[in-house]
Structure 1
Amino acid sequence: MARRNRKHPSVVSSTTTSVVSSAVSSRMPSAAPSVVPSRAPSPSRTPTVPIQPFRFFDLPSELRIRIYEVLLWLPKPLDLDPINYRLVHPRLAVFLANKRMHDEAYPVFYSQPIRLFPTHGRFFHTKQPLLARLPLRYRNVVAALELRLGPGWSNPPRCQHTRPPIGLLDCTSLRTLKIFVEIDPSDTVFAGFRGKNATEETYKWFCVDLLHGILEQVPSLETVEIDAYPAVKKEAQLVMALRRKIEENGKRLVWGPLRGWEKEGDEPGLIGLEQALAGMGLGGSSLSRVVEVAA
Protein backbone atom coordinates (compact mmCIF):
# COMPACT_ATOMS: atom_id res chain seq x y z
CA MET A 1 0.00 0.00 0.00
CA ALA A 2 1.52 3.23 -1.17
CA ARG A 3 2.04 6.02 1.27
CA ARG A 4 0.03 9.16 0.78
CA ASN A 5 2.07 12.30 0.35
CA ARG A 6 0.77 14.42 3.20
CA LYS A 7 2.03 17.91 3.85
CA HIS A 8 2.77 19.13 7.26
CA PRO A 9 -0.18 21.11 8.71
CA SER A 10 1.97 24.18 9.28
CA VAL A 11 3.06 24.28 5.64
CA VAL A 12 -0.51 24.05 4.37
CA SER A 13 -1.66 26.72 6.71
CA SER A 14 1.15 29.06 5.66
CA THR A 15 0.54 28.54 1.96
CA THR A 16 -3.20 29.06 2.23
CA THR A 17 -2.78 32.24 4.22
CA SER A 18 -0.38 33.77 1.68
CA VAL A 19 -2.66 32.95 -1.25
CA VAL A 20 -5.71 34.42 0.45
CA SER A 21 -3.86 37.53 1.47
CA SER A 22 -2.57 38.03 -2.08
CA ALA A 23 -6.07 37.64 -3.54
CA VAL A 24 -7.65 40.03 -1.10
CA SER A 25 -4.97 42.66 -1.57
CA SER A 26 -5.42 42.51 -5.35
CA ARG A 27 -9.16 43.20 -5.04
CA MET A 28 -9.24 45.80 -2.20
CA PRO A 29 -7.45 49.17 -2.05
CA SER A 30 -4.87 49.48 0.60
CA ALA A 31 -5.94 51.56 3.61
CA ALA A 32 -2.34 52.24 4.64
CA PRO A 33 -0.98 55.70 3.76
CA SER A 34 1.43 55.82 0.88
CA VAL A 35 4.99 56.80 1.61
CA VAL A 36 5.25 58.49 -1.81
CA PRO A 37 3.80 62.03 -1.69
CA SER A 38 0.78 62.48 -3.91
CA ARG A 39 1.21 64.71 -6.95
CA ALA A 40 -0.55 68.06 -7.03
CA PRO A 41 -3.57 68.20 -9.30
CA SER A 42 -2.94 69.42 -12.79
CA PRO A 43 -3.64 73.11 -13.32
CA SER A 44 -5.96 72.21 -16.15
CA ARG A 45 -8.13 70.29 -13.69
CA THR A 46 -8.23 73.12 -11.12
CA PRO A 47 -11.58 74.88 -11.21
CA THR A 48 -11.06 78.39 -12.61
CA VAL A 49 -12.58 81.38 -10.85
CA PRO A 50 -13.53 84.16 -13.29
CA ILE A 51 -11.51 87.35 -12.69
CA GLN A 52 -13.77 90.30 -12.06
CA PRO A 53 -12.63 93.63 -13.60
CA PHE A 54 -11.91 96.49 -11.23
CA ARG A 55 -14.75 98.99 -11.40
CA PHE A 56 -12.67 102.17 -11.57
CA PHE A 57 -15.62 104.49 -12.02
CA ASP A 58 -17.20 103.22 -8.81
CA LEU A 59 -14.50 105.15 -6.93
CA PRO A 60 -15.38 108.64 -5.68
CA SER A 61 -14.55 111.39 -8.17
CA GLU A 62 -12.01 112.95 -5.75
CA LEU A 63 -10.07 109.67 -5.60
CA ARG A 64 -10.18 109.25 -9.38
CA ILE A 65 -8.77 112.75 -9.86
CA ARG A 66 -5.98 112.01 -7.39
CA ILE A 67 -5.09 108.86 -9.36
CA TYR A 68 -4.98 110.89 -12.58
CA GLU A 69 -2.64 113.40 -10.92
CA VAL A 70 -0.23 110.67 -9.78
CA LEU A 71 -0.29 109.10 -13.25
CA LEU A 72 -0.16 112.20 -15.46
CA TRP A 73 1.70 114.98 -13.63
CA LEU A 74 5.37 115.46 -14.48
CA PRO A 75 8.16 116.88 -12.27
CA LYS A 76 8.81 119.73 -14.72
CA PRO A 77 6.64 121.93 -16.98
CA LEU A 78 5.28 120.47 -20.19
CA ASP A 79 7.33 121.57 -23.17
CA LEU A 80 8.32 120.55 -26.68
CA ASP A 81 11.17 118.11 -26.18
CA PRO A 82 12.48 115.07 -28.10
CA ILE A 83 12.19 112.89 -24.98
CA ASN A 84 8.42 113.46 -24.79
CA TYR A 85 7.93 110.29 -26.80
CA ARG A 86 9.34 108.31 -23.87
CA LEU A 87 8.27 110.54 -21.00
CA VAL A 88 4.84 111.91 -21.94
CA HIS A 89 3.44 109.73 -24.71
CA PRO A 90 3.06 106.51 -22.62
CA ARG A 91 1.10 108.42 -19.97
CA LEU A 92 -1.43 109.64 -22.51
CA ALA A 93 -2.52 106.06 -23.21
CA VAL A 94 -5.10 106.59 -20.47
CA PHE A 95 -6.91 108.95 -22.87
CA LEU A 96 -7.63 105.97 -25.14
CA ALA A 97 -9.36 103.81 -22.52
CA ASN A 98 -12.80 105.25 -23.18
CA LYS A 99 -14.51 108.59 -23.67
CA ARG A 100 -15.43 109.05 -20.01
CA MET A 101 -11.85 108.50 -18.83
CA HIS A 102 -10.56 110.87 -21.51
CA ASP A 103 -13.01 113.59 -20.43
CA GLU A 104 -11.94 113.22 -16.80
CA ALA A 105 -8.20 112.90 -17.41
CA TYR A 106 -7.36 115.65 -19.89
CA PRO A 107 -8.34 118.57 -17.58
CA VAL A 108 -6.00 117.09 -14.96
CA PHE A 109 -3.13 116.63 -17.42
CA TYR A 110 -3.34 120.14 -18.87
CA SER A 111 -3.75 121.79 -15.47
CA GLN A 112 -0.02 121.30 -14.78
CA PRO A 113 2.36 124.11 -15.87
CA ILE A 114 3.00 124.42 -19.61
CA ARG A 115 6.10 126.25 -20.82
CA LEU A 116 5.03 129.07 -23.11
CA PHE A 117 8.18 129.12 -25.27
CA PRO A 118 10.31 125.99 -25.76
CA THR A 119 13.89 126.01 -24.56
CA HIS A 120 15.22 122.89 -26.31
CA GLY A 121 17.45 123.74 -29.25
CA ARG A 122 15.46 121.62 -31.67
CA PHE A 123 12.28 123.65 -31.08
CA PHE A 124 13.74 126.97 -29.94
CA HIS A 125 12.89 128.76 -33.20
CA THR A 126 9.62 126.98 -33.92
CA LYS A 127 6.72 129.15 -35.05
CA GLN A 128 4.26 127.05 -33.06
CA PRO A 129 5.01 126.51 -29.38
CA LEU A 130 3.20 123.80 -27.47
CA LEU A 131 0.25 126.02 -26.52
CA ALA A 132 -0.45 126.87 -30.16
CA ARG A 133 -0.41 123.18 -31.10
CA LEU A 134 -3.07 122.16 -28.59
CA PRO A 135 -6.71 121.76 -29.65
CA LEU A 136 -9.12 124.40 -28.41
CA ARG A 137 -10.69 122.28 -25.66
CA TYR A 138 -7.25 121.55 -24.22
CA ARG A 139 -6.27 125.22 -24.20
CA ASN A 140 -9.52 126.00 -22.39
CA VAL A 141 -8.41 123.99 -19.33
CA VAL A 142 -4.79 125.19 -19.10
CA ALA A 143 -4.38 126.43 -15.52
CA ALA A 144 -0.69 127.46 -15.35
CA LEU A 145 1.95 128.76 -17.77
CA GLU A 146 5.69 129.13 -17.34
CA LEU A 147 7.51 132.04 -18.99
CA ARG A 148 11.25 131.39 -19.01
CA LEU A 149 13.36 134.52 -19.54
CA GLY A 150 17.02 134.44 -20.51
CA PRO A 151 17.44 131.94 -23.38
CA GLY A 152 18.23 133.85 -26.56
CA TRP A 153 18.68 137.15 -24.69
CA SER A 154 21.28 138.51 -27.12
CA ASN A 155 18.96 137.98 -30.11
CA PRO A 156 15.43 136.98 -29.04
CA PRO A 157 13.78 134.76 -31.66
CA ARG A 158 10.79 136.17 -33.53
CA CYS A 159 8.65 133.23 -32.45
CA GLN A 160 8.62 134.59 -28.89
CA HIS A 161 5.59 136.84 -28.99
CA THR A 162 2.11 137.10 -27.48
CA ARG A 163 0.09 137.76 -30.63
CA PRO A 164 -3.31 135.99 -30.99
CA PRO A 165 -2.07 132.97 -33.03
CA ILE A 166 -0.25 131.69 -29.96
CA GLY A 167 -3.59 130.82 -28.34
CA LEU A 168 -3.57 132.89 -25.14
CA LEU A 169 -7.12 134.13 -25.75
CA ASP A 170 -8.37 130.54 -25.40
CA CYS A 171 -6.79 130.03 -21.94
CA THR A 172 -9.97 130.91 -20.06
CA SER A 173 -9.00 128.79 -17.03
CA LEU A 174 -5.49 130.22 -16.64
CA ARG A 175 -4.89 131.31 -13.04
CA THR A 176 -1.12 131.21 -12.50
CA LEU A 177 1.86 132.51 -14.47
CA LYS A 178 5.31 131.36 -13.37
CA ILE A 179 8.16 133.60 -14.53
CA PHE A 180 11.67 132.19 -14.20
CA VAL A 181 14.57 134.59 -14.83
CA GLU A 182 17.76 132.79 -15.81
CA ILE A 183 19.90 135.93 -16.32
CA ASP A 184 19.53 139.71 -16.31
CA PRO A 185 21.45 141.15 -19.31
CA SER A 186 21.21 144.66 -17.84
CA ASP A 187 24.14 143.75 -15.61
CA THR A 188 27.43 145.39 -16.61
CA VAL A 189 29.12 142.00 -17.13
CA PHE A 190 27.04 141.60 -20.31
CA ALA A 191 28.36 144.78 -21.89
CA GLY A 192 29.63 144.03 -25.40
CA PHE A 193 27.58 140.81 -25.67
CA ARG A 194 24.05 142.20 -25.95
CA GLY A 195 23.79 142.06 -29.71
CA LYS A 196 23.71 144.68 -32.43
CA ASN A 197 22.25 148.05 -31.39
CA ALA A 198 21.09 146.57 -28.07
CA THR A 199 21.37 148.51 -24.82
CA GLU A 200 21.21 147.36 -21.24
CA GLU A 201 17.42 147.88 -21.30
CA THR A 202 16.61 146.21 -24.63
CA TYR A 203 15.95 142.74 -23.29
CA LYS A 204 14.22 144.14 -20.21
CA TRP A 205 11.55 145.87 -22.29
CA PHE A 206 11.24 142.82 -24.52
CA CYS A 207 10.34 140.75 -21.44
CA VAL A 208 7.99 143.42 -20.10
CA ASP A 209 6.16 143.43 -23.44
CA LEU A 210 5.73 139.65 -23.23
CA LEU A 211 4.26 139.97 -19.76
CA HIS A 212 2.00 142.83 -20.88
CA GLY A 213 0.64 140.72 -23.74
CA ILE A 214 -0.18 137.84 -21.40
CA LEU A 215 -1.90 140.08 -18.84
CA GLU A 216 -3.89 141.81 -21.56
CA GLN A 217 -5.17 138.62 -23.21
CA VAL A 218 -5.79 136.52 -20.09
CA PRO A 219 -8.05 138.45 -17.70
CA SER A 220 -8.62 135.29 -15.63
CA LEU A 221 -4.98 135.39 -14.46
CA GLU A 222 -4.77 135.85 -10.69
CA THR A 223 -1.21 135.09 -9.51
CA VAL A 224 2.23 135.75 -10.98
CA GLU A 225 5.21 133.96 -9.45
CA ILE A 226 8.76 135.22 -10.03
CA ASP A 227 11.77 133.02 -9.43
CA ALA A 228 15.38 133.15 -10.64
CA TYR A 229 18.79 131.59 -10.57
CA PRO A 230 21.14 132.67 -7.74
CA ALA A 231 23.06 135.08 -10.00
CA VAL A 232 19.92 137.22 -10.39
CA LYS A 233 19.29 139.67 -7.56
CA LYS A 234 15.94 140.81 -6.28
CA GLU A 235 16.87 144.43 -7.14
CA ALA A 236 17.88 143.58 -10.72
CA GLN A 237 16.39 145.91 -13.34
CA LEU A 238 14.55 143.10 -15.10
CA VAL A 239 13.00 141.78 -11.88
CA MET A 240 11.96 145.26 -10.73
CA ALA A 241 10.37 146.06 -14.12
CA LEU A 242 8.37 142.83 -14.06
CA ARG A 243 7.26 143.52 -10.52
CA ARG A 244 5.98 147.00 -11.42
CA LYS A 245 4.01 145.63 -14.38
CA ILE A 246 2.39 142.98 -12.18
CA GLU A 247 1.41 145.49 -9.52
CA GLU A 248 0.06 147.95 -12.11
CA ASN A 249 -2.34 145.27 -13.35
CA GLY A 250 -3.52 144.38 -9.84
CA LYS A 251 -2.26 140.79 -9.88
CA ARG A 252 -1.01 138.91 -6.84
CA LEU A 253 2.80 138.65 -6.78
CA VAL A 254 4.53 135.73 -5.07
CA TRP A 255 8.18 134.71 -5.00
CA GLY A 256 9.34 131.25 -6.06
CA PRO A 257 11.13 128.78 -3.77
CA LEU A 258 14.56 128.83 -5.42
CA ARG A 259 15.52 132.37 -4.46
CA GLY A 260 13.45 132.59 -1.31
CA TRP A 261 12.63 136.25 -1.94
CA GLU A 262 9.59 136.11 0.32
CA LYS A 263 12.09 136.79 3.11
CA GLU A 264 13.50 140.19 3.86
CA GLY A 265 16.50 141.20 1.80
CA ASP A 266 18.25 138.82 -0.57
CA GLU A 267 18.58 135.77 1.66
CA PRO A 268 19.34 132.29 0.31
CA GLY A 269 16.46 130.32 -1.15
CA LEU A 270 15.32 126.80 -0.41
CA ILE A 271 17.25 125.16 -3.24
CA GLY A 272 20.55 125.54 -5.02
CA LEU A 273 24.07 126.76 -4.34
CA GLU A 274 23.10 129.57 -1.98
CA GLN A 275 21.55 127.18 0.51
CA ALA A 276 24.70 125.05 0.51
CA LEU A 277 26.89 128.11 1.04
CA ALA A 278 24.62 129.33 3.81
CA GLY A 279 24.85 125.94 5.52
CA MET A 280 28.64 126.26 5.56
CA GLY A 281 28.49 129.82 6.84
CA LEU A 282 29.47 131.21 3.44
CA GLY A 283 26.18 132.82 2.45
CA GLY A 284 25.34 136.52 2.33
CA SER A 285 27.56 138.76 4.49
CA SER A 286 29.69 135.83 5.62
CA LEU A 287 30.84 135.26 2.05
CA SER A 288 31.77 138.96 1.70
CA ARG A 289 33.92 138.81 4.84
CA VAL A 290 35.73 135.72 3.52
CA VAL A 291 36.49 137.53 0.25
CA GLU A 292 37.81 140.58 2.14
CA VAL A 293 40.11 138.47 4.31
CA ALA A 294 41.39 136.54 1.27
CA ALA A 295 42.13 139.84 -0.50
Structure 2
Amino acid sequence: MSKPLDLDPVNYRLVHPRLAIFIANRRTYEEAYPVFYSQPIRLFPTHGRFFHTKQPLLARLPAHYRSVVTTFELRFGPGWSMPPRCQNTNPSLGLADCTSLRTLRLFVECDPSDGIFAGFRGKNATEDTYKWFCVDLLRGIMAQVPSLETVEIDAYPAVKKEAPLVMALRRNIEEGGKKLAWGPLRGWEKDADEPGLIGLEKALAGMGISDAPARMVAVEA
Protein backbone atom coordinates (compact mmCIF):
# COMPACT_ATOMS: atom_id res chain seq x y z
CA MET A 1 0.00 0.00 0.00
CA SER A 2 1.50 3.34 -1.05
CA LYS A 3 1.79 6.24 1.40
CA PRO A 4 -1.05 8.73 0.85
CA LEU A 5 -0.33 12.15 -0.59
CA ASP A 6 -0.82 14.73 2.15
CA LEU A 7 0.27 18.15 3.36
CA ASP A 8 3.73 17.57 4.77
CA PRO A 9 6.85 19.74 5.29
CA VAL A 10 8.97 17.31 3.25
CA ASN A 11 6.78 17.59 0.14
CA TYR A 12 9.21 20.09 -1.36
CA ARG A 13 11.82 17.34 -1.38
CA LEU A 14 9.75 14.20 -2.02
CA VAL A 15 6.82 15.42 -4.09
CA HIS A 16 7.78 18.70 -5.75
CA PRO A 17 10.52 17.22 -7.99
CA ARG A 18 8.01 14.72 -9.38
CA LEU A 19 5.81 17.57 -10.57
CA ALA A 20 8.45 18.80 -13.01
CA ILE A 21 6.95 16.57 -15.68
CA PHE A 22 3.81 18.72 -15.57
CA ILE A 23 5.62 21.59 -17.27
CA ALA A 24 7.33 19.57 -20.02
CA ASN A 25 4.60 20.29 -22.56
CA ARG A 26 0.81 20.34 -22.78
CA ARG A 27 0.44 16.76 -23.96
CA THR A 28 2.69 15.40 -21.23
CA TYR A 29 0.80 17.45 -18.66
CA GLU A 30 -2.57 16.08 -19.79
CA GLU A 31 -1.25 12.53 -19.52
CA ALA A 32 0.68 12.99 -16.26
CA TYR A 33 -1.74 14.66 -13.85
CA PRO A 34 -4.43 11.92 -13.96
CA VAL A 35 -1.73 9.37 -13.12
CA PHE A 36 -0.20 11.45 -10.35
CA TYR A 37 -3.50 12.22 -8.62
CA SER A 38 -4.76 8.65 -8.88
CA GLN A 39 -2.52 7.83 -5.90
CA PRO A 40 -4.25 7.80 -2.48
CA ILE A 41 -5.01 11.26 -1.06
CA ARG A 42 -5.26 11.76 2.70
CA LEU A 43 -8.46 13.68 3.24
CA PHE A 44 -7.42 15.52 6.43
CA PRO A 45 -3.77 16.19 7.35
CA THR A 46 -2.16 14.45 10.31
CA HIS A 47 1.16 16.31 10.46
CA GLY A 48 1.29 18.77 13.36
CA ARG A 49 2.18 21.77 11.19
CA PHE A 50 -0.96 21.36 9.07
CA PHE A 51 -3.28 19.63 11.53
CA HIS A 52 -5.37 22.76 12.13
CA THR A 53 -5.16 24.14 8.61
CA LYS A 54 -8.27 25.78 7.21
CA GLN A 55 -7.71 24.06 3.85
CA PRO A 56 -6.87 20.36 3.62
CA LEU A 57 -5.02 19.21 0.51
CA LEU A 58 -8.19 18.30 -1.40
CA ALA A 59 -9.60 21.80 -0.95
CA ARG A 60 -6.38 23.29 -2.33
CA LEU A 61 -6.50 21.29 -5.56
CA PRO A 62 -8.16 22.67 -8.70
CA ALA A 63 -11.42 20.97 -9.64
CA HIS A 64 -9.90 19.11 -12.62
CA TYR A 65 -7.31 17.54 -10.30
CA ARG A 66 -9.99 16.50 -7.83
CA SER A 67 -11.93 14.90 -10.66
CA VAL A 68 -9.24 12.24 -11.22
CA VAL A 69 -8.69 11.26 -7.57
CA THR A 70 -9.59 7.59 -7.11
CA THR A 71 -8.72 6.85 -3.47
CA PHE A 72 -9.08 8.68 -0.15
CA GLU A 73 -7.53 7.82 3.19
CA LEU A 74 -9.25 9.06 6.33
CA ARG A 75 -7.75 8.54 9.80
CA PHE A 76 -9.91 8.39 12.90
CA GLY A 77 -8.23 9.09 16.23
CA PRO A 78 -5.89 12.10 15.84
CA GLY A 79 -7.40 15.04 17.73
CA TRP A 80 -10.30 12.93 18.98
CA SER A 81 -10.89 15.06 22.11
CA MET A 82 -11.26 18.23 20.02
CA PRO A 83 -11.26 17.55 16.25
CA PRO A 84 -9.92 20.41 14.08
CA ARG A 85 -12.49 22.52 12.28
CA CYS A 86 -11.07 21.43 8.93
CA GLN A 87 -12.38 17.90 9.55
CA ASN A 88 -15.76 18.38 7.93
CA THR A 89 -17.51 17.61 4.66
CA ASN A 90 -18.65 21.12 3.82
CA PRO A 91 -18.95 21.94 0.09
CA SER A 92 -15.71 23.95 0.29
CA LEU A 93 -13.79 20.67 0.65
CA GLY A 94 -14.58 19.87 -3.00
CA LEU A 95 -16.01 16.36 -2.62
CA ALA A 96 -18.58 16.98 -5.34
CA ASP A 97 -15.77 17.28 -7.88
CA CYS A 98 -14.38 13.82 -7.04
CA THR A 99 -16.26 12.00 -9.77
CA SER A 100 -13.63 9.27 -10.18
CA LEU A 101 -13.43 8.31 -6.49
CA ARG A 102 -13.88 4.55 -6.05
CA THR A 103 -12.21 3.67 -2.73
CA LEU A 104 -12.27 5.17 0.75
CA ARG A 105 -9.79 3.78 3.29
CA LEU A 106 -10.72 4.32 6.92
CA PHE A 107 -8.00 3.76 9.51
CA VAL A 108 -9.05 3.66 13.17
CA GLU A 109 -6.14 4.60 15.42
CA CYS A 110 -8.23 4.47 18.59
CA ASP A 111 -11.83 4.27 19.77
CA PRO A 112 -12.49 6.90 22.49
CA SER A 113 -15.66 5.08 23.54
CA ASP A 114 -13.38 2.69 25.43
CA GLY A 115 -13.47 3.12 29.22
CA ILE A 116 -9.78 4.03 29.39
CA PHE A 117 -10.62 7.38 27.79
CA ALA A 118 -13.07 8.33 30.56
CA GLY A 119 -12.16 11.72 32.00
CA PHE A 120 -10.25 12.77 28.88
CA ARG A 121 -13.08 13.24 26.40
CA GLY A 122 -13.55 16.97 26.89
CA LYS A 123 -16.37 19.11 28.25
CA ASN A 124 -19.87 17.71 27.66
CA ALA A 125 -18.48 14.84 25.56
CA THR A 126 -19.83 11.33 26.08
CA GLU A 127 -18.43 7.95 25.07
CA ASP A 128 -20.40 8.26 21.81
CA THR A 129 -19.46 11.84 20.85
CA TYR A 130 -16.45 10.99 18.70
CA LYS A 131 -18.15 7.92 17.25
CA TRP A 132 -20.96 10.03 15.82
CA PHE A 133 -18.47 12.65 14.63
CA CYS A 134 -16.73 9.95 12.56
CA VAL A 135 -20.01 8.53 11.29
CA ASP A 136 -21.10 12.01 10.14
CA LEU A 137 -17.87 12.37 8.15
CA LEU A 138 -18.45 8.99 6.50
CA ARG A 139 -22.06 9.83 5.68
CA GLY A 140 -21.04 13.20 4.24
CA ILE A 141 -18.53 11.59 1.90
CA MET A 142 -20.93 8.88 0.73
CA ALA A 143 -23.69 11.43 0.15
CA GLN A 144 -21.53 13.76 -1.96
CA VAL A 145 -19.57 11.16 -3.92
CA PRO A 146 -21.96 8.75 -5.67
CA SER A 147 -19.08 7.10 -7.56
CA LEU A 148 -17.69 5.64 -4.31
CA GLU A 149 -17.81 1.85 -4.45
CA THR A 150 -15.66 0.37 -1.67
CA VAL A 151 -14.98 1.44 1.90
CA GLU A 152 -12.08 -0.30 3.64
CA ILE A 153 -11.66 -0.40 7.41
CA ASP A 154 -8.30 -1.01 9.06
CA ALA A 155 -6.96 -0.29 12.55
CA TYR A 156 -4.16 -0.55 15.06
CA PRO A 157 -3.89 -3.79 17.09
CA ALA A 158 -5.57 -2.32 20.20
CA VAL A 159 -8.80 -1.68 18.30
CA LYS A 160 -11.23 -4.59 18.33
CA LYS A 161 -13.52 -5.55 15.48
CA GLU A 162 -16.51 -5.25 17.83
CA ALA A 163 -15.46 -1.77 19.05
CA PRO A 164 -18.44 0.66 18.95
CA LEU A 165 -16.74 2.95 16.43
CA VAL A 166 -15.88 0.09 14.07
CA MET A 167 -19.38 -1.39 14.38
CA ALA A 168 -21.00 1.99 13.66
CA LEU A 169 -18.82 2.55 10.59
CA ARG A 170 -19.55 -0.94 9.31
CA ARG A 171 -23.30 -0.50 9.75
CA ASN A 172 -23.34 2.80 7.87
CA ILE A 173 -21.20 1.42 5.04
CA GLU A 174 -23.61 -1.46 4.56
CA GLU A 175 -26.68 0.76 4.86
CA GLY A 176 -25.13 3.09 2.28
CA GLY A 177 -24.91 0.26 -0.22
CA LYS A 178 -21.12 0.30 -0.40
CA LYS A 179 -18.84 -2.72 -0.50
CA LEU A 180 -17.09 -3.30 2.83
CA ALA A 181 -13.47 -4.44 2.83
CA TRP A 182 -11.04 -5.09 5.68
CA GLY A 183 -7.55 -3.62 5.53
CA PRO A 184 -4.39 -5.76 5.64
CA LEU A 185 -2.79 -4.42 8.83
CA ARG A 186 -5.38 -5.52 11.37
CA GLY A 187 -6.22 -8.77 9.61
CA TRP A 188 -9.98 -8.63 10.10
CA GLU A 189 -10.62 -10.50 6.88
CA LYS A 190 -9.96 -13.61 8.98
CA ASP A 191 -12.90 -15.31 10.70
CA ALA A 192 -11.56 -14.60 14.18
CA ASP A 193 -10.49 -11.25 15.58
CA GLU A 194 -6.83 -12.05 15.07
CA PRO A 195 -4.03 -9.56 14.35
CA GLY A 196 -2.97 -9.14 10.75
CA LEU A 197 0.55 -8.65 9.47
CA ILE A 198 1.86 -6.34 12.17
CA GLY A 199 5.42 -5.66 13.27
CA LEU A 200 7.63 -8.74 13.65
CA GLU A 201 4.96 -10.99 12.20
CA LYS A 202 5.00 -8.99 8.97
CA ALA A 203 8.79 -9.10 8.78
CA LEU A 204 8.84 -12.86 9.33
CA ALA A 205 6.15 -13.36 6.72
CA GLY A 206 8.19 -11.35 4.23
CA MET A 207 11.10 -13.74 4.73
CA GLY A 208 8.89 -16.80 4.46
CA ILE A 209 9.29 -17.50 8.18
CA SER A 210 6.43 -18.12 10.57
CA ASP A 211 6.45 -17.57 14.31
CA ALA A 212 3.79 -20.24 14.80
CA PRO A 213 4.82 -23.06 17.16
CA ALA A 214 6.31 -26.12 15.49
CA ARG A 215 4.11 -29.19 15.25
CA MET A 216 5.18 -32.56 16.60
CA VAL A 217 4.96 -35.27 13.95
CA ALA A 218 5.02 -38.90 14.95
CA VAL A 219 6.91 -41.16 12.62
CA GLU A 220 6.56 -44.92 12.74
CA ALA A 221 9.72 -46.95 12.16
Report the alpha carbon displacement of residue 267 of structure 1 after superposing the two structures with TM: 1.3
Note if contact 1:230-1:273 (Cα within 8 Å) is conserved in structure 2.
Answer: no
Q: Which has the higher helix share?
A: 1
- Say how many residue pairs are matched: 209
Bigger relative CO (Cα 8 Å, ≥ 6 apart): 2
The answer (yes or no) to whether the contact 1:149–1:180 under 8 Å persists in 2 is yes
Equivalent residue, structure 1, for 2:48: 121
Alignment partner, residue 146 of structure 1: 73
Aligned structure 1 segments of 4 or more residues deviating by more than 3 angstroms: 273-282
Name the SS of the counterpart of 1:111 in structure 2: coil
Q: In structure 1, what is the Cα distance between the partners aligned to 2:186 and 2:157?
A: 7
Give the equivalent residue in structure 2 for 1:134: 61
What corresponds to 2:36 in structure 1?
109
Counterpart position of 1:156: 83
Q: Distance in 2 between matches of 1:189 and 1:277?
A: 32
- Structure 1 residue 271, shift from structure 2 partner: 2.8
Q: Is structure 2 residue 178 aligned with structure 1 residue 224?
A: no
Distance 1:135 1:276, change over 3 A: closer
5 Å matches for 1:75-90?
75-90=2-17
| Structure 1 partner of 2:189 | 262
> Is the 2:201–2:211 contact (alpha carbons within 8 Å) kept by the matching residues of 1?
no
Whether the aligned pair in 2 keeps the contact of 1:268 and 1:275 (CA below 8 Å) is no
- RMSD, matched Cα: 1.8
Q: Is the 1:95–1:106 Cα contact (8 Å) retained in structure 2? A: yes
Among 171, 196, 199, the residue aligned to 1:272: 199
Structure 1 residue runs of 5 or longer lacking an equivalent are 1-73, 283-295
Deviation at 1:275, TM superposition (A): 5.6
2:169 equivalent to 1:252:
no
Q: With structure 2 as the length reference, what TM-score do the two structures score?
A: 0.90
- Distance in 1 (CA, whole Å) between partners of 2:155 and 2:58 is 23
Give the secondary-structure state (helix, strand or coil) at the position aligned to 2:133: helix
AA in 1 matched with 2:14: L
Query: What is the TM-score of this pair, normalised by structure 1?
Result: 0.68
Structure 2, unaligned runs of 5 or more: 214-221
**CA shift at 1:281, angstroms?**
5.3
* 1:201 equivalent in alignment to 2:89: no
